[in-house]
């Protein structure tokens, strides 16, 4: 079983290496199939491990850690390359490999004809390997390796079409924001090591008492800082929207289903530590629910189909952190898995739309797509109802579990949560209505260019917005503006700016040629449709993982994860009646969100009043970063280089030199051009000395 566990890791790594060496030769589509096979094999290995684990007794025997070599060992530090398989990591591994395999399959179709087709799968396989390393790591350091690995792959894949300046900037932005989080991760590791003398999970949990008090709180908050980076929470969320520059399968896999949930996983993994500090837990819960709300509000106003989904992801991740904060870890994992199904499906559906529309991402230029791509529309509808929380789909149970627990713990947070649920139902319905129902708008969009005048935001639409970014930040220290400038520009130009269809300026993702004339939407090929159908089934029925009326002995998430979370289980001690009431409230909220959106958006497709600039531009977070960090940083860097380095540091040296010049004749000569002779002098002197010494020796 241990070998199967290592095979999970080995197969994607092997796929990565094979594709790295021979990918270009294998080409399209063989390279894609190789990559897909490697990940599918990893999924099978995960199933084998899972089966092996099921056959073991639940009490403790399901936790196996295994190391193959010592990675870093100096003094008291001893980090092993170790994996830990337990119900938690297996749950993660199962859905990570499963969803990854589906999205690999989808990518075979989506990336068809791309110039860097094989490279895409190189990155994707490396990503799966890193993600599994993150999940299966037996200590914080190995998890950190995976953590950084997925960040790197994310960087590469966001800037996959690197000739597009917006894509390049977005990748860098993601990396830098994540680095801020990594800083927290590093310091947390140091603190934990200092207190407990180890970084392995079992070791840390055995010495938790050393982390009581302020140290424990600090460690949790530092790890949470890391989580806010990776999982796009306040204050580090702005990168995720920009990350939509990457190919859509990447958005589905990395920026919706798997990588962004790593922060939640980390928190769950470290849950005994969280249990040490209630104040830290409250911080996590609050940040989570506020992020959920903020993300939801922004999602209501976006016009780019992928950006709606991106902010929706931020919002849903907020729910997961809310669950973590109130101690409902199982609910967090449940929502994570369910979210992977339906958000993966939403993104793949969006990808299918974009594919069919020839790279059109603006909702205002869609409409009526249901009749052109029925399967996409149907599966998309399933995901829509699932995320909205319509019973009995997966989202209803998962989100319900989170909200019920919140209600039991902090009713105030529950209120925010339920409002966000309304927003969720609203924005997803808006998206569906705008994209799939009504009259097709793409034909007119091309023929008459009324779009640019038809709305407040797209007034400054600039098809080549990317060019401005480079020129705009070409100042001395443009590096600092990574924090904000890219998306400020993208925001300023409106949703249509970055998604400019066709045209020579934008790399054609799937090599389908530029969209001359108006797009003729069509259903996607089979390799893309099959993953949609599979995910639709999962999103539809995912709720069975954890149904409230299951008995304690049935196979359900709660009992499966019991060995990990032990007594940190549901905090909900609600009566059956109140649970029913809460369930009804949830359903009503979901349905009213859908109703409102339907009424509003079927009548008119352009409602600027409902898309206030404040929300459309993400509460001006990018502007705030730019103002508070970016520009001062630029100025500081320019000042340092131009003044401190030249006048102070170098100036002191030159001043001292000038001083010595006046001080002595010998030094004066030295300073004014006799260096060459002097060097020669050293050489000759040295030779003479050596010769003399040799003789004497």
Partner 1 sequence: MSPFPFLTTLVLLPAGAALVVAILPSGLGERRRRIAAQVIGLAGALGTLALAATIAVRFNIKDAGYQMVSDHAWARSLGVSWYLGVDGISLFLVLLAALLFPVALVAARTRTNLHSYMAWMLLLEAVCIGSFISLDLILFFVFFEASLVPIYFIITGWGFEKRSAAAMKFFVYTFLGSAFLFVGIVVLALIHQHDTGVLTFSLPVLAHTHMPYYVQVLLFLSFTAAFAVKSPVFPFHTWSPDAYAEAPTGGSVVLAAVMAKMGTYGIIRFDLNLFPKASIDLAPLLLTLGVAGIIYGAIVACTQKDLKRMVAYSSLSHIGFIVLGVFALTSEGMAGGVIQMVNHGLIIAVLFLAIGWIYERTATRDVSRLKGLQKPAPLLAALFTVGMLAAIGLPGLNGFVGEFLILLGTFITHRWWAVVAATGVILAALYMLWAYQQAFHGKPEEEAVKRTKDISWPELLVMAPLVGLVIFLGVYPKPVLDRITPSVERLVQRADRAAGVHQPLLSRKVALPASRLHVQHAAHTPGAAVSGYTGYVGASRLRSFWTASPVGSAGVSSAGVGTGALTSAATGNVQYGWTPYGSSRIRHALPYASLLGIASPFYPGGSADRHLGLVTPLTSHCCVAIAGSDTVR
Q: Which residues inside 10-69 make contact with partner 1, applying CB under 8 A?
A: 69
Q: Which backbone phi and psi does 328 adopt, to 5 degrees? A: -95, 70
Q: Which of 56, 209, 522, 668 binds partner 1 (CB under 8 A)?
A: 209
Distance CA 327, CA 237 (A): 23
Helix (H, G, I), strand (E, B) or coil at 618: helix
> HSE (CB half, 13 Å, CA atoms) of 616?
22
SS3 366: coil
Binding mask 102-141 for partner 1 (x = CB under 8 A): ---------------------------------------x
70 binds partner 1 (CB under 8 A): yes
Under the binding rule (CB under 8 A), the answer on residue 218 touching partner 1 is no
Binding status of residue 148 toward partner 1 by CB under 8 A? yes
Partner residues linked to 373 by β-bridges? none
C-beta of 526 vs 676, nearer to partner 1: 676
Closest distance to partner 1 from the beta carbon of 177 (Å): 10
Binders of partner 1 among residues 264 to 303 (CB under 8 A) are none
Q: How many CA atoms lie within 13 A of 226 on its CB side?
A: 27
Distances (CA, A) of 437 to 368, 377, 416, 499, 648: 4, 10, 31, 21, 66
The only residue of 65, 198, 420, 524 in contact with partner 1, by rule CB under 8 A = 198
How far apart, in whole angstroms, are the C-alpha atoms of residue 553 and residue 550?
Answer: 8
Neighbours of 466 (CB within 10 A): 26
Shortest approach of partner 1 to residue 60 CB, angstroms?
18
Of 207 and 550, which has the nearer Cβ to partner 1?
207
Helix (H, G, I), strand (E, B) or coil at 676: helix
* 502 touching partner 1, by CB under 8 A: no
Residue number with CB closer to partner 1 (118 or 301): 118
Greatest alpha-carbon pair distance for the chain in Å reads 104
Asked if 162 touches partner 1 (CB under 8 A), the answer is: yes
Measured CA angle at 425 (ends 424, 431), to 5 deg? 90
Candidates 275-283, 285-293, 473-481, 544-552 — which segment interacts with partner 1 by CB under 8 A?
Answer: 473-481
Letter string b/e over residues 396-414, b meaning 16 or more CB atoms within 10 A of that residue's CB: bbbbbbbbbbbbbbbeebb
634 burial level (CB within 10 Å; 0-12, 13-18, 19+): buried
Q: Is 220 in the site for partner 1 (CB under 8 A)?
A: no
Position among 7, 30, 47, 191 found at the interface with partner 1 (CB under 8 A): 191
Q: Given the rule CB under 8 A, which of 182-190, 317-325, 378-386, 405-413 is the region that contacts partner 1?
A: 182-190
Pick the binder of partner 1 from 2, 378, 638, 669 (CB under 8 A).
638
* CA distances for 497 relative to 244, 308, 487, 617, angstroms: 13, 15, 11, 13
The whole-angstrom distance between residue 598's C-alpha and the CA centroid of its chain comes to 30
Q: Which stretch binds partner 1 (CB under 8 A): 96-104, 176-184, 523-531, 570-578?
A: 176-184
Q: Which is nearer to partner 1, 181 or 438 (CB)?
A: 181
To partner 1, the closest distance from the beta carbon of 333 in angstroms equals: 26
The reply to whether 168 sits near partner 1 by the rule CB under 8 A is: yes
Does 610 bind partner 1 (CB under 8 A)? Our answer is no
Kindly indicate which of the ranges 245-253, 368-376, 521-529, 686-694 contains the residues binding partner 1, using the contact rule CB under 8 A: 686-694
Closest contact distance (angstroms) between CB of 198 and partner 1 is 7
Point out which span in 368-376, 409-417, 439-447, 672-680 binds partner 1 (CB under 8 A). 672-680
x/- mask, partner 1, residues 302-331, rule CB under 8 A, reads ------------------------------
Q: Which stretch binds partner 1 (CB under 8 A): 6-14, 174-182, 334-342, 592-600?
A: 174-182
Q: Please, what is the angle between helix 485-492 and helix 465-472, to 10°? A: 140
Is the bond preceding residue 29 a cis peptide, omega within 30 degrees?
yes
Contact pick of 603, 683, 688, 691 for partner 1 (by CB under 8 A): 683
Of 214, 474, 576, 604, the one binding partner 1 (CB under 8 A) is 474
Choose which of 675, 677, 688, 691 interacts with partner 1 (CB under 8 A): 675
Query: What is residue 81's three-state secondary structure?
Result: strand
In angstroms, the CA 130 to CA 151 distance is: 9
Q: Which CB sits closer to partner 1, 151 or 531?
A: 151
**Closest C-alpha to 299, from 619, 624, 626, 622:** 619
Q: Verify binding: residue 650, partner 1, rule CB under 8 A.
A: yes
Among 7, 10, 30, 187, binds partner 1 (CB under 8 A): 187
**Which residue in 197, 272, 525, 548 binds partner 1 (CB under 8 A)?**
197
Q: Applying CB under 8 A, does 549 fall inside the site for partner 1?
A: no
Cβ atoms 309, 339 nearer than 8 A: no
As a whole number of angstroms, the distance between CA 97 and CA 36 comes to 11
Among 55, 602, 641, 677, binds partner 1 (CB under 8 A): 641
73 near partner 1, judged by CB under 8 A: yes
| 651 phi, psi to nearest 5 deg | -60, -40
**What's CA 327's distance to the chain center, in Å?**
23
Does 652 contact partner 1 by CB under 8 A?
yes
Does position 464 interact with partner 1 (CB under 8 A)? The reply is: no
Binder among 14, 78, 472, 571 for partner 1 (CB under 8 A): 78
Specify the residue, 160 or 334, whose C-beta has the smaller distance to partner 1.
160
With the C-alpha atoms ordered 581, 583, 588, 589, is the resulting torsion angle positive or negative? positive
577 binds partner 1, rule: CB under 8 A: no
| Chain position carrying tokens 């509000």 | 297
Any contact of residue 477 with partner 1 (CB under 8 A)?
A: yes
Number of chain positions touching partner 1 (CB under 8 A): 78
Q: How far does Cα 195 stand from its chain's mean position? A: 31
Residue choice 159, 251, 379, 487 for contact with partner 1 (CB under 8 A): 159
Pairwise CA distance, residues 440 & 450, whole Å: 15
Q: Which stretch binds partner 1 (CB under 8 A): 184-192, 257-265, 580-588, 593-601?
A: 184-192
DSSP character at residue 561? S
Structure tokens at 190: 């140091």
Query: Which of 37, 67, 571, 640 is close enough to bind partner 1 by CB under 8 A?
Result: 640
669 is an interface residue for partner 1 by CB under 8 A? no
Termini Cα distance of the chain: 68
CA distance 384 to 241: 20
- Quickly list DSSP for 479-513: GGGGGTHHHHHHHHT-HHHHT--STTTS--TT---
Residue 75 contacts partner 1 per CB under 8 A = yes
Distance of CA 536 to the CA centre of its chain: 22
State yes or no: residue 581 binds partner 1 (CB under 8 A): no
């Amino acid at each position: 079983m241990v070998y199967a566990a290592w095979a999970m890791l080995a197969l994607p790594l092997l796929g990565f290496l094979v594709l790295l060496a021979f990918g270009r030769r294998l080409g399209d589509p063989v390279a894609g199939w190789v990559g897909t096979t490697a990940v599918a094999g990893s999924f099978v290995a995960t199933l084998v491990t899972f089966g092996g684990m099921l056959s073991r007794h639940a009490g403790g025997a399901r936790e196996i850690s295994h190391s193959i070599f010592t990675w870093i060992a100096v003094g008291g530090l001893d980090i092993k390359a170790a994996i830990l398989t337990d119900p938690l990591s297996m749950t993660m591994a199962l859905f990570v490999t499963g969803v990854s395999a589906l999205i690999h399959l989808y990518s075979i179709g989506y990336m068809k004809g791309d110039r860097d087709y094989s490279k895409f799968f190189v990155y994707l396989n490396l990503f799966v390997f890193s993600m599994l390393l993150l999940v299966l790591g037996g200590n914080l350091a190995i998890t950190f390796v995976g953590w950084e690995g997925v960040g790197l792959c994310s960087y590469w894949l966001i800037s996959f079409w690197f000739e597009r300046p917006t894509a390049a900037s977005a990748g860098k932005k993601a990396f830098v924001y994540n680095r801020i989080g990594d800083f927290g991760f590093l310091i947390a590791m140091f603190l934990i090591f200092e207190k407990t003398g180890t970084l392995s999970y079992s070791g840390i949990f055995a010495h938790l008492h050393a982390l009581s008090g302020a140290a424990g709180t600090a460690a949790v908050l530092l790890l949470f800082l890391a989580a806010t980076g990776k999982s796009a929470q306040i204050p580090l969320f702005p990168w995720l929207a920009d990350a939509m520059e990457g190919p859509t399968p990447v958005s589905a896999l990395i920026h919706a289903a798997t990588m962004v949930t790593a922060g939640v996983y980390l928190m769950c993994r470290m849950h005994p530590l969280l249990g040490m500090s209630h104040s830290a837990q409250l911080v996590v819960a609050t940040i989570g629910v506020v992020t959920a709300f903020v993300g939801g509000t922004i999602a209501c106003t976006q016009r780019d189909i992928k950006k709606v989904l991106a902010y929706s992801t931020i919002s849903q991740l907020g729910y997961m952190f809310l669950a973590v904060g109130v101690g409902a870890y199982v609910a967090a994992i449940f929502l994570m898995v369910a979210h992977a199904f339906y958000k993966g499906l939403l993104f793949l559906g969006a990808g299918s739309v974009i594919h069919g529309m020839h790279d059109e991402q603006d909702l205002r230029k869609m409409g009526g797509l249901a009749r052109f791509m029925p399967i996409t529309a149907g599966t998309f509808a399933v995901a829509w109802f699932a995320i909205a929380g319509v019973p009995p789909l997966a989202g209803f149970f998962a989100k319900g579990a989170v909200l019920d627990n919140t209600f039991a713990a902090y009713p105030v947070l529950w209120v925010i949560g339920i409002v966000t649920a309304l927003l969720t139902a609203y924005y997803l319905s808006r998206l569906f209505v705008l994209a799939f129902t009504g009259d097709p708008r793409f034909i007119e969009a091309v023929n008459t260019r009324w779009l640019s005048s038809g709305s407040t935001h797209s007034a400054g639409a600039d098809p080549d917005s990317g060019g401005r970014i480079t020129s705009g930040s070409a100042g001395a220290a443009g590096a600092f503006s990574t924090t904000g400038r890219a998306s400020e520009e993208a925001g300023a130009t409106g949703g249509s700016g970055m998604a400019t269809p066709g045209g020579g300026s934008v790399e054609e993702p799937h090599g389908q040629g530029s969209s001359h004339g108006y797009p003729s939407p069509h259903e996607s090929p089979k390799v893309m449709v099959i993953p949609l159908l599979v995910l639709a089934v999962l999103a539809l029925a995912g709720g069975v993982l954890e149904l409230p009326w299951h008995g304690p002995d049935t196979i359900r998430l709660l009992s499966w994860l019991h060995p990990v979370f032990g007594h940190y289980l549901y905090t909900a001690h609600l009566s059956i009646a109140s649970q029913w009431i809460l369930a009804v409230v949830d359903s009503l909220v979901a349905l009213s969100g859908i109703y409102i959106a339907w009424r509003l958006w079927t009548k008119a497709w352009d409602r600027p009043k409902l898309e206030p600039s404040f929300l459309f531009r993400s509460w001006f977070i990018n502007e705030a970063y730019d103002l508070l960090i970016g520009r001062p940083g630029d100025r500081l860097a320019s000042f340092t280089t131009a003044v401190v380095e030249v006048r102070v540091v170098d100036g002191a040296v030159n001043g001292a030199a000038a001083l010595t010049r006046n001080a002595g004749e010998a030094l004066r000569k030295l300073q004014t051009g006799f260096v060459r002779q002097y060097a020669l002098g050293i050489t000759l002197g040295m030779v003479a000395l050596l010769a003399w010494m040799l003789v004497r020796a």
